[in-house]
Structure 1
Amino acid sequence: MKKLLLSALSLGVVAVVAIVATQAFFSDEETSTGNTFQAGAIDLQVDSKAHYAGLVCVEGHWVQEDQQPPTTRPDLLDDPCGGTWNLKDLTIEKFFEYSDLKPGDDGENTISLHVYNNDAWGCVTINPTLNDDMSSTEPELEAGDTQDTDSIFDGELAQSMHFRIWSDMCSNTGLGAVPGDNIYQQGCDLLLTEGDGPITPRTWALAAPGLPNVFTGAVSAPLIGSNDYYLGVAWDIPTTVGNKAQTDKYMSDISFKVEQSRHNENFVCPVQEGFTPNTLRLENEQEVQGGPWNVIVDQKYVDMTYNSSGPTFDYTLVGQGLAASTQYSLIYYADGWPGNNPGALIGTHLSNADGTINTGPVINAELNMDLPTLPDGNYAIGAKIWLIPSSAYNAGTKSVTVWPPDFNTWFFEGNVYINYNDTQVP
């Protein structure tokens, strides 16, 4: 049987071969091989060179700057410095990091932006995170300053400093000007902004649809990939600044955003990265002594929409990660402790059994006050809004009664302060 099967198999194979061999259709074949779709890339890299008091930061040390008067800080010669680096992706770099500043001090950073691979729209945002009085010295108090509060925005240093930011692109042999020379040439370099240090987030378009490119002046012109673009950022503390700014500390985050320009005619720079106007994300946070608290990056948050002006404070809340089936109080926390300066209870809400919250239709709260309101220690910057368990709040005295908080189930302002104008209040 085995031999018969093998014989049959052999015959079958031969038969098949015979059939194939007898066919000879006319044919042609064209092949396109290796068809590929590959996404492009966009990468922004930044470099910086720091100047301070007639010194320049070179290879990590302060040296006397060429063709400049002798430094007013000879004590810093050869000392370590920051603020200077070659083109790179930013991680922990700081453009400015100075201590022991005095009236009359000044400095400048030349910042270079380089977009790789593709043309792009671009924006720069300065987000102040601290303008703190730190402590109250006797000269400060004698000058009329108030006693230091718990607020991290009760200082005067930011408002006392003078800043100028410009497109450092002037090329003029008669002026001896070249791009990136850290010298503002009025009428040749393009001024981006000038004034006191911002105490609220500010965003400027470097290149955006319908707006002049700050480096070239051309409207709706993107940043060209592989070109270098220079910004000058100068600062000084006028000699007229009085004692109120003693010990004050000013901190801010500086961020650059680029986005492809092709097929992106509706691009606009965000008011503040991650937020849209009249939306506030309340976050659980980690306390940092003497500085802005750190937002805990997780899936716990509450988004609040609100109106910035009107007879009532109109808001909604949608969020997750709250304590389950718990009564919460939405409060205006007015520094200092315990938040009743003057402070306000805005509303109370019960979380769901799964820890979510959704207040549904807009709620109209009668506050009968603006946010912020004096004597709030954050009056110069805005109002803190918190969502905390009602068991930790006394609505009668408008006071937080529990500290430290449960940072997993309390929701804070995320270092973003709001303003609301109650149109029924004179």
Structure 2
Amino acid sequence: MNDDKIGLSRRKMLVGLGAVGVASAGAGLGTTAYFNDTETFANNELTAGSLDLFVHVDYSEDQGNYAQYSTEPGTYVDGNVVGIEGQGSTGDPLSIRVSDLKPGDSGEGEFCFSIVDNPAYMWMCGELTANAENGQSEPEMDDDDTGGDPGDGTGELADAIQVTVSYCTDDGDGGNDIGDEIVSGSLRDVMLALRAGVPLSSDGDANAPLADRPTFAGVTEAFTDGEPNVDEQCVCFTWEVPTSVENEIQTDSVMFDFEFYAVQARHNDGAHNPCVDETVVTAYDNDWKGQTLGNPTEGNVYTSVSFGQNQTVLSFAFADDGDGVDFLDTADYSSTNLPVAVDADDDGTHDWQLIWQPNAGFPDAPFGYQPNNGGSYGAAEPLPAGFSAVKVGNTIVFGIPNSDINSTFRLLGYGSTGGEGPIAEVNVDPSLGPDFYNSANAIEFSD
């Protein structure tokens, strides 16, 4: 309703009372009572809605004549516990364990989504929680000289397993049509990307914009006539230990988690990342040279930090304005780069830089590492042992072992396109310019 239909404005109410007063005085009744009338709108009620995510799981693995495994039809996860349609919940989380892993073994899975009652934005998250050496057998020692400390996280299995995560849809014959790739690489790289959070789009477009991307539709119930009532777009993943892998993985083990988040679409643009602990948003600067740029573009960089069990993850998501010019695209900006200076112990001085620069010829191209050697940075070096980096779409992600960074630290980012493009300066006061040595103007993060 609007106000004109349910009541009087203050001006109209005063006029009405004046008219009643004149009528009463003319009648000469001597009463001080006003004529009155009351209309009641009864039993008003406000009821909060709900949003409940069901993840339907179809998973199988192939270990030759050693073992074959698949989830039961109707398997789903709700409230972080597994259930079977028609049988209810088991009360336990869904945990898939693979033993006696050998080169040539593989597995594949499909995740489909029922978001009950409300449409939502979806995110996929995860974490590599263990990558253990577990000692070394005699054949492994011939191929692996890392020492075999059972608890040092230097196992080779996370690097050996190859993983691909893609959008997929039901092909109508019990299989899937595989669509755009979301992320692929070693298990270590894929889990690093998921620790930073990967936004999902219901149209299966891996290049969909971050803000206001297509949402996943809401449904009234997770199952209809015993069949999952799901959004058309699902997520499929495959893993494989290539036959080229040799004895270096013997006795190694890995553990990792997948997570899916559904966040209500109403009053939300989908840009908030539920996978990370803290985010700072910085707008691109197209005026930093004090002149009109020949190739400007608008956008934001989302700098996020995730404090994991074994590593701290820094991620930089560049969200462009959709004009066809992309900050990280070397076809648009051949010199585009992102150096990140880190004061790992929060003592006021940056200790090292992590750099993404695709055309620089770094040893770990496109990534490099530069320690602060008493006030100067030398040539870029390979990433130190235990460090990792990956680029997924328009997001650059760095993983740092917790042993190399404190729970409170500072960072400064200076994304630059060179030439006629913008910059994206991540610090407390961008007007001061970047200082890659003194961290006084860097942004502080704390677990």
Alignment check: 8 A CA contact 1:162 1:194 kept: yes
Residues 316 and 135 of structure 1: is their aligned pair in 2 closer, same or farther, counting only changes over 3 Å? closer
**Amino acid of the residue matched to residue 213 of structure 2?**
S
Residues 195 and 384 of structure 1: is their aligned pair in 2 closer, same or farther, counting only changes over 3 Å? closer
2:22 aligned with 1:30, yes or no?
no
**Amino acid of the residue matched to residue 237 of structure 1?**
V
Give the superposition deviation at 1:235: 1.4
Give the superposition deviation at 1:166: 2.7
Q: Tell me which residue corresponds to 2:177.
A: 185
Q: CA–CA distance in 2 between the matches of 1:120 and 1:269?
A: 12
Give the superposition deviation at 1:185: 3.1
Alignment check: 8 A CA contact 1:154 1:380 kept: no
Q: Aligned match of 1:90 in 80, 89, 98?
A: 80
Q: Tell me which residue corresponds to 1:378.
A: 386
Q: Secondary structure at the match of 1:96?
A: coil
Q: CA–CA distance in 2 between the matches of 1:213 and 1:128?
A: 25
Residues 412 and 248 of structure 1: is their aligned pair in 2 closer, same or farther, counting only changes over 3 Å? farther
Give the superposition deviation at 1:142: 0.8
In structure 1, runs of 5+ residues without a counterpart are: 1-21, 55-70, 284-291, 296-307, 318-326, 333-344, 347-363, 389-410
Q: Aligned match of 2:242 in 238, 242, 249?
A: 238
Q: Compute the TM-score of the two structures, normalised by the length of structure 1.
A: 0.53
Q: CA–CA distance in 1 between the matches of 2:379 and 2:152?
A: 20
Alignment check: 8 A CA contact 1:281 1:413 kept: no
**Amino acid of the residue matched to residue 37 of structure 1?**
L
Q: Tell me which residue corresponds to 2:164.
A: 164
Alignment check: 8 A CA contact 1:83 1:93 kept: no
Q: Compute the TM-score of the two structures, normalised by the length of structure 2.
A: 0.50
Give the superposition deviation at 1:238: 1.5
Q: Tell me which residue corresponds to 2:187.
A: 197
Q: CA–CA distance in 2 between the matches of 1:386 and 1:83?
A: 43
Structure with higher Rg: it is 1
**Amino acid of the residue matched to residue 249 of structure 2?**
A
Q: CA–CA distance in 1 between the matches of 2:103 and 2:137?
A: 17
2:56 aligned with 1:47, yes or no?
yes
Q: CA–CA distance in 2 between the matches of 1:220 and 1:269?
A: 12
- Superposed counterparts of 1:348-359, under 5 Å: none
**Amino acid of the residue matched to residue 109 of structure 2?**
N
Give the superposition deviation at 1:231: 2.5
Alignment check: 8 A CA contact 1:132 1:155 kept: yes
Give the superposition deviation at 1:248: 1.4
Q: Tell me which residue corresponds to 2:277.
A: 274
Q: Tell me which residue corresponds to 1:104.
A: 104
Alignment check: 8 A CA contact 1:204 1:269 kept: no
2:215 aligned with 1:222, yes or no?
yes
Residues 138 and 161 of structure 1: is their aligned pair in 2 closer, same or farther, counting only changes over 3 Å? same
Q: Secondary structure at the match of 1:159?
A: helix
Q: CA–CA distance in 2 between the matches of 1:372 and 1:385?
A: 20
**Amino acid of the residue matched to residue 185 of structure 2?**
G
Give the superposition deviation at 1:136: 2.0
The size of the alignment, in residue pairs, is 288
Alignment check: 8 A CA contact 2:388 2:400 kept: no
Alignment check: 8 A CA contact 2:110 2:235 kept: yes
User: CA RMSD for the aligned pairs?
Assistant: 5.1
Q: Secondary structure at the match of 1:228?
A: coil
Give the superposition deviation at 1:264: 1.3
Q: CA–CA distance in 2 between the matches of 1:168 and 1:97?
A: 24
Q: CA–CA distance in 1 between the matches of 2:402 and 2:75?
A: 39
Q: CA–CA distance in 2 between the matches of 1:38 and 1:235?
A: 45
Superposed CA deviations along residues 206-239 of structure 1, whole A, max 9, x for unmatched, are 138xxx5459x99832100115143322212112
Give the superposition deviation at 1:132: 2.2
Give the superposition deviation at 1:86: 3.1
Q: Aligned match of 1:261 in 265, 275, 290?
A: 265
Give the superposition deviation at 1:124: 0.2
Q: CA–CA distance in 2 between the matches of 1:84 and 1:134?
A: 36
**Amino acid of the residue matched to residue 40 of structure 2?**
T
Q: Secondary structure at the match of 1:148?
A: coil
Alignment check: 8 A CA contact 1:213 1:222 kept: no
Percent identity between the aligned chains? 22
